[in-house]
Structure 1
Amino acid sequence: MPPTGKQYLGARYPWVPEHGYVLSIGTDRLKELESDLAGQSICSQAVPKIPAALRRRWMLCFISAKKGYLTHVARSVVYYPAESGRDKLDIWNVMPFGKAVRVSAIKTSLRGKQAWRAKQALGGGHVSAAAFGLIMEALRRVDDKAFKVAAGLVNRRPPPPDPNPTPAKTNWAYQRDAVVTALEFARIPTEQLRVPPQLDEDATPGLTSIFDGDEDVTSIEDLLILQDLDEGSEGWQFIKRQRYPAKLFTNGDTKLTIILANKLPLERQLGVDLIYVNETLKSVVFVQYKMFSGVDGELGYRPDDQLKTEIARMEAAAAKLASVAADESCEGYRFGSDPFFLKFCSKLLSHDAKGHVPGIYVPVSYWKKLAKTPAAKGKKGGAIVYAETFGRRYFTPTHFVDMVGRGWIGTTALQTDILVSYLSDAIEGKKSLVLAIESSTDAGPDDDFEDGYEPLRQTVAPPKPRHPGKKPKIIQL
């Protein structure tokens, strides 16, 4: 059974826990944790402090969401203390047992000199290394199927060699992650994207798009699918007419068209990897990816001249946007005036994830301030940042997706008209820049299509309505 939510397995390297944790929570809290997992692949729970020496060491977490029973098992670790003065238990890969296992049965089956310690640990809290081994053996005797679920989270295999980070593979990873993020913005199931997280070693040379092998993608000759979007302003038609790989995703009344623009000279690109255009709320958000170095990002990120060039291009667009009159409407209200964001994450090629790669988001305007502070300086005075450098001052993927989806951040409605000239330049870059245009599926039967072409349609059926007979709402993203 696959893990709940979009949780990255992190199976690139061995994962062998030497001790464990028994977490007792209510069903309501379990649902909250599962909701967090669906959004950002990891969740956390405040727990009593564990010995400092055991921090950063893997723990197999047994979860009890029903009194007297173990119902789930997960991977976990404690890195930092929680705000309440306790410790923060990070949890991922939450796996449900086929049927709940009675704790009293495990206690009865315990054997060995440390059985008393294991019985005590099953009451909740940290499980020592000696007690952990006895509990696993007892679980095998009581319920072999439950044991296999728990043992399945343990990975003793040696890590595979690092993939050679060729430009083609990096380009593939950027594109795929940006497309998955756009799907999450639009609340469209990411299962509709059937693209592997890494470029196949035997892939056809010359691939420039993750959609190149997709038969359902709009071809260069018949981009008429883009004309099935809302009419919008005359300027938007330029974007919709571009001859680039495009694919339609739908979910009920919400439609998302992804355009992968990576054909012409890089010099004319805006300097971002993802442009999300929401036609319903008239907002645009720009995202630029930056990678922390190291296997898991532990070596940090060093700002370079490329980032300076990209930010300069963003500043040029921002200066133009600043000249637009303030949007006083409720629909045009935004938290801030900065539609540009940086996403920091560990190397995309290191994660075999079904969802987007976990990362942190910050506005470019905040980054420029942070880069001038001592916190962004290394031991030798050079500029470098780590995940810890941002403290709590960043948006998690869950927060970012929610704010974009509800129109709280991005450009105002009045600013979209002048963006066309910038998007027309950006869409002509060689780099894997993604333009995502979302609208409602309200095209009528009398729509005209040039040259007799009919628009390509996504064959995946929309989800069944929760309330049959009630008119579904158009998702206002």
Structure 2
Amino acid sequence: MPLPGNQYLEARYPWVPEHGYVLLISAERLKELEIDLYAESTCSQAVPKIPTALRRRWMLCFISTKKGYLTHVARSVVYYPAESGKDKLDLWNVMPFTKPVRVAAIKAKLAGTQAWRAKQALLGGHISPSAFSLIMTALRQVDAEASKITEGLVDRRPPPPDPTPTRAKTNWAYQRDAVVTSLEIARIPRQQLTIPTQLGEDGAKGLTSIFDSEDDVTTIEDLAILQDLDQADEDWQFVRRQRYPAKLFTNGDTNLTIILANKLPLERQLGTDLIYVNETLKSVVFVQYKMFSGVDGEGGYRPDAQLDEEIARMDSASATLGAVAVDESCDGYRFGADPFFLKFCSKLLSHDAKGHVPGIYVPLSYWKRLVKTPAAKGKKGGTIVYAETFGRRHFTPTHFIDMVGRGWVGTSALQTDVLAPYLRAALQGKKGVVLAVETSKAGDSDDDGEDGYETSRRAVAPPKPRFPGKKPKVIQL
């Protein structure tokens, strides 16, 4: 039976390993990794350093939990060094062999000038590209079933064609990306979101948000779904009175309510902002989405009057926040005073992709500086930026999610207390806004809420599927 954390096998992305690794760990350590797989769909193990030139290149990892045998195989890659001075081996799609494969049997089938490298690698450690091909050939001869499982992780199919961008498809992608980002910040498995990556060719008619395709979405006037807002500032009462589609996601002690505000037809929406409210850490982060033109973003992005309008609104909010007293507490500490970010997206996701819309994040204050420099000027003197314009001065989705989730960026705790009026104004506008509110269940009450609605026992988070591609069930109590 496949281990948890193998949800991505059905995604059509080319995945061809160039080298390999033999990871020797105990059965107990594998169980620990399984827990990480269950929660995050990936896990990591500190290993001796591999050649720097082979970092970021796909490799198959053979796992041995029994001396002299290979028991599992997984997809893996090394992106960064570990804090211990070793390398950090990221693993996912961990698959058990039907029966352990004897290492001695594989060694006996190795042949060629690089056989000695392959035999050495089978004792544990990195497998060079030349030795890797010999081991794959020998595995096919020794155990056809194990070879089939291993080859099942390799995907040589070309990626599906990118969708043709339309305003509706772009806004669908932005809304979904904002929701996925919110889930990852709150450490909620994104597999709980079953919404398709792309809007179908005939799907725009009649849709007002990505949640319109969900059967278990509750409109916000049902106060039971907003149990995590009951203890919030009284200004949130405005939010609770609106009729927006809302969906509750849970994981352990964390509740995440996603609110898609201002239900307008997708064809009439101009964009989607993400407002992430972390009530636990008392911080708020704002993200404005912008799209590079071209198939892969090669056409760059030219600032326009719409962006000027949006920046003016952000500046107005910044002026209000600037009047708040400096927060000297540890909880209120942030890297900087700018809670506003721009995300520049290079293209839409393909239908089978599961992650984020490709793009980069930059703080608004940095963007204001960048557009004044020669680097942001085109051949004819106009303002235009490309992905390479930012160089290394940007945040990846992983960087951004980690900083927001740990409370290193965003408004201070004192500023968050005065933000409710601004959020109320944003929700009253004509622009699609994604509002995410993260809280801890520990503060929930078992009492009934206003108008007799039960606020503490409403939904049970669905268990994470143990099989790839299987849609999780939503259980309503």
TM-score (norm 2): 0.75
Partner of 2:471: none
CA-based RMSD of the aligned residues comes to 4.6
Q: 1:354 to 1:92 in 2, by over 3 A?
A: farther
Q: Counterparts in 2 of 1:56-455, with a 5 A limit? A: 59-64=58-63, 70=70, 71-74=72-75, 76=77, 93-98=92-97, 101-111=101-111, 115=115, 118-119=118-119, 122=122, 124-125=125-126, 127-128=128-129, 131-201=131-201, 203=203, 205-219=205-219, 222=222, 225-226=225-226, 229-263=229-263, 273-291=273-291, 299=298, 301-305=300-304, 306-350=306-350, 352-356=352-356, 360-373=360-373, 383-386=384-387, 389-391=390-392, 393-429=393-429, 431-441=431-441, 442-450=443-451
Partner of 1:470: none
In 1, Cα distance between the equivalents of 2:270 and 2:461?
34
In 1, Cα distance between the equivalents of 2:47 and 2:348?
27
Contact 1:41–1:358 (Cα < 8 Å) also in 2: no
Q: 1:144 to 1:154 in 2, by over 3 A?
A: same
Q: 1:290 to 1:21 in 2, by over 3 A?
A: farther
In 1, Cα distance between the equivalents of 2:373 and 2:100?
52
In 2, Cα distance between the equivalents of 1:35 and 1:163?
33
Kindly tell me the number of residue pairs found equivalent between the two proteins.
Answer: 450
Contact 2:228–2:439 (Cα < 8 Å) also in 1: no
In 1, Cα distance between the equivalents of 2:120 and 2:386?
43
Partner of 2:470: none
Q: 1:231 to 1:159 in 2, by over 3 A?
A: closer
In 2, Cα distance between the equivalents of 1:2 and 1:177?
28
In 2, Cα distance between the equivalents of 1:360 and 1:96?
33
Contact 2:349–2:358 (Cα < 8 Å) also in 1: no
Once the two structures are TM-superposed, the CA of residue 411 in structure 1 deviates from its matched residue by: 1.4
In 1, Cα distance between the equivalents of 2:241 and 2:449?
15
Aligned AA for 2:366? Y
- Percent of pairs with identical residues: 61
Write out per-residue CA displacement over residues 290-312 of structure 1, whole angstroms, 9 at most, x where no aligned residue.
Answer: 455666x5738434224444333
Aligned AA for 2:458? R
In 1, Cα distance between the equivalents of 2:38 and 2:372?
34
In 2, Cα distance between the equivalents of 1:351 and 1:22?
31
Contact 1:36–1:398 (Cα < 8 Å) also in 2: no
Partner of 1:20: 19
Contact 1:235–1:417 (Cα < 8 Å) also in 2: no
Once the two structures are TM-superposed, the CA of residue 376 in structure 1 deviates from its matched residue by: 5.3
In 2, Cα distance between the equivalents of 1:169 and 1:345?
13
Contact 1:327–1:414 (Cα < 8 Å) also in 2: yes
Q: 1:122 to 1:6 in 2, by over 3 A?
A: closer
Contact 2:331–2:413 (Cα < 8 Å) also in 1: yes
Write out per-residue CA displacement over residues 362-410 of structure 1, whole angstroms, 9 at most, x where no aligned residue.
Answer: 322233334445565678876334269442x444544433433343322
Aligned AA for 1:459? V
Once the two structures are TM-superposed, the CA of residue 145 in structure 1 deviates from its matched residue by: 3.2
Once the two structures are TM-superposed, the CA of residue 359 in structure 1 deviates from its matched residue by: 5.3
Partner of 1:469: none
Write out per-residue CA displacement over residues 222-243 of structure 1, whole angstroms, 9 at most, x where no aligned residue.
Answer: 4564376234333222122221
**Corresponding position: 1:459 with 2:467:** no
Aligned AA for 2:235? G
Once the two structures are TM-superposed, the CA of residue 434 in structure 1 deviates from its matched residue by: 0.6
Once the two structures are TM-superposed, the CA of residue 286 in structure 1 deviates from its matched residue by: 0.9
Contact 1:37–1:92 (Cα < 8 Å) also in 2: no
In 1, Cα distance between the equivalents of 2:345 and 2:43?
14
Aligned AA for 2:206? G
Once the two structures are TM-superposed, the CA of residue 143 in structure 1 deviates from its matched residue by: 2.8
Q: 1:322 to 1:438 in 2, by over 3 A?
A: same
Contact 1:176–1:210 (Cα < 8 Å) also in 2: yes
Aligned AA for 1:322? G
Aligned AA for 1:324? V
In 2, Cα distance between the equivalents of 1:48 and 1:378?
41
Q: 1:8 to 1:169 in 2, by over 3 A?
A: farther
In 2, Cα distance between the equivalents of 1:434 and 1:238?
16
| Structure 1: 5+ residue stretches without partners | 464-477
Write out per-residue CA displacement over residues 104-161 of structure 1, whole angstroms, 9 at most, x where no aligned residue.
Answer: 32121224676456446656545345x5443222112223333223212322334433
Q: Secondary structure at the match of 1:350?
A: coil
Aligned AA for 2:316? A
Q: 1:149 to 1:226 in 2, by over 3 A?
A: same
Q: Secondary structure at the match of 1:249?
A: strand
Contact 2:37–2:43 (Cα < 8 Å) also in 1: yes
Partner of 1:474: none
Contact 2:14–2:157 (Cα < 8 Å) also in 1: yes
In 1, Cα distance between the equivalents of 2:63 and 2:237?
55
